[in-house]
A = this chain, B = another copy of it.
Amino acid sequence: MKQVLTIITMISCIYTQSVLSQETKIVEDFKPSSVNQPERKFPQVNSQGRVRASISAPNANKVQLDIGGVKYDMIKDANGIWSGESNPQDEGFHYYQLNIDGASVPDPGTLYFYGAGRLGSGIEIPSKDQDFFALKDVPHGLVSENIYFSKLTNSFRRCFIYTPPDYNENIKTHYPVLYLQHGSFEDETGWPSQGKANLILDNLIAAKEATPMIIVMDNGYAYKPQNNQGNKKEQPASVFEEVLIAEVIPMIDAKFRTITNREHRAIAGLSMGANQTMRIMMNHLETFSQYGGFSGTSNYPSTDVIDASVFLDGKYKDGDALNKKIKLFWLGLGTKEPSPFPKSIGAFRAMLDQQKIKYVYYESPETAHEWLTWRRCLYQFASKLFR
């Protein structure tokens, strides 16, 4: 008996050590991140998805790599260069920063991305399916920056417009339009930058897996002007829905060769944008026929059972009518998303099921509330739009 126990203990120890060494051993196959500035060697990523950062800070006391909510201590060499590695990260795109003696700053090695309420560093952990958003030698559409003055907000605003590769050659063709929104603490640069919306569509269109379409990416934060100046404690009233319906869509229809009916207009968004655009869709079925909600629904953050007779003023009450009116109702979620997203979206789906409302549901494998989930959602969703 004692011998058996000893053997079991030994096997157990060997097993534990093996798992531990797999977890802790750093594989030395680091390569510069694909979103570094030109010629910059750091940050790097290895095959385990670890991030290695490096910065010269000869007189610093403490330097940390701050990624995924964890701060990893870096170590100084004889030349004053600090280096350090994170634990393995999920595949896809992540925001991060360096912390130098308490100062949270962008890594000077990377390109910068607007998210988490700041323009800062980002890193790309190569994903197995990265081909669908890769820059390839296929015809490329344009991404155009459009500045406009909004009377509703009394301010200058900006949207980006993707036009498909053949837009500037087929000068008599008119195109359907997808209005595509970012999440909270992000802005109109999210989709054309880290979201890779243009490359995803270029690749889909080249493979004839999507209908050529225009995509409009605006800023989801829009407030009435009086609330910008008055009592600062007052919650400003969002007028994004009004800006989109009364200002953006007419502007896009005037400036671009769009097909100006509901059958050829879709609206989608991620997280906060999914919540916003779902409300806009349901309030304006005369304007849109197709909807995509990526990692978000309008009951957020509630996970309670939804009563269709009162939710969103009863907009989901008549399932039959909606099934006739809505051409595509599409929902997506990452399998690693944190609470309350799975349960909140689950509650929404249960309501749809109860109302017998048809919808498509997609799960992004092994991704959380991050951009690889949303890139995959756009890829899946866009291939079903305007078909």
Q: Which A residues contact B (CB, under 8 angstroms)?
A: 37-38, 55-63, 80, 98, 100-106, 108, 111-112, 118-120, 135, 137, 140, 142-149, 156, 161, 168-169, 171, 187, 192, 198, 254-256
Contact in complex: B60, A103 (CB < 8 Å):
yes
Contact in complex: A105, B106 (CB < 8 Å):
yes
A111 with B100: in contact, given A59-B61, A105-B105, A254-B169 (CB under 8 Å)?
no
Instruction: Return the contact of A168 from the options B105, B135, B255 (Cβ within 8 A).
Output: B255
| Copies held by the complex | 2
Complex Cα distance, B108 from A119, in Å, reads: 8
Complex Cα distance, B120 from A57, in Å, reads: 17
11 of the cross-chain contacts (CB-CB < 8 Å) are A55-B105, A58-B102, A59-B61, A60-B103, A98-B105, A103-B105, A104-B108, A105-B106, A137-B149, A147-B198, A168-B255
Contact in complex: A56, B106 (CB < 8 Å):
no
Complex Cα distance, B63 from A57, in Å, reads: 12
Chain B residues with Cβ below 8 Å from A111 are 119
Contact in complex: A142, B140 (CB < 8 Å):
no
Chain B residues with Cβ below 8 Å from A171 are 171
Complex Cα distance, B38 from A192, in Å, reads: 19
Contact in complex: A156, B135 (CB < 8 Å):
yes
Chain B residues with Cβ below 8 Å from A146 are 140, 142
Instruction: Return the contact of A100 from the options B80, B100, B118 (Cβ within 8 A).
Output: B100
A100 with B108: in contact, given A140-B146, A145-B143, A171-B171 (CB under 8 Å)?
no
Complex Cα distance, B111 from A137, in Å, reads: 31
CB distance from A60 to the nearest CB of B (A): 4
Chain B residues with Cβ below 8 Å from A106 are 105-106, 108, 112
Contact in complex: B108, A105 (CB < 8 Å):
yes
Chain B residues with Cβ below 8 Å from A137 are 149
Complex Cα distance, B181 from A72, in Å, reads: 42
A144 with B145: in contact, given A57-B103, A105-B100, A156-B135 (CB under 8 Å)?
yes
Complex Cα distance, B156 from A276, in Å, reads: 36
Contact in complex: B255, A101 (CB < 8 Å):
no
Q: Which 8 A-B pairs have the closest CB atoms?
A: A57-B103, A60-B101, A59-B101, A144-B144, A58-B102, A142-B144, A59-B102, A168-B255
Complex Cα distance, B162 from A20, in Å, reads: 56
Contact in complex: A61, B101 (CB < 8 Å):
yes
Complex Cα distance, B62 from A98, in Å, reads: 17
Max chain B Cβ within 10 angstroms of own Cβ: one of A61, A145, A171: A145
Chain B residues with Cβ below 8 Å from A168 are 255-256
Chain B residues with Cβ below 8 Å from A156 are 135
Please name the residue on chain B nearest to A140 by beta carbon: B147
CB distance from A158 to the nearest CB of B (A): 10
Complex Cα distance, B255 from A171, in Å, reads: 10
Contact in complex: A118, B60 (CB < 8 Å):
no
Contact in complex: A60, B102 (CB < 8 Å):
yes
Please name the residue on chain B nearest to A63 by beta carbon: B103
Complex Cα distance, B158 from A111, in Å, reads: 16
Instruction: Return the contact of A61 from the options B61, B108, B145, B149 (Cβ within 8 A).
Output: B61
Complex Cα distance, B145 from A56, in Å, reads: 34
Complex Cα distance, B156 from A164, in Å, reads: 18
Chain B residues with Cβ below 8 Å from A145 are 142-145, 192
Max chain B Cβ within 10 angstroms of own Cβ: one of A102, A135, A161: A102
Please name the residue on chain B nearest to A143 by beta carbon: B145
Contact in complex: A103, B144 (CB < 8 Å):
no
Instruction: Return the contact of A135 from the options B101, B119, B142, B147 (Cβ within 8 A).
Output: B147
Contact in complex: B101, A120 (CB < 8 Å):
no
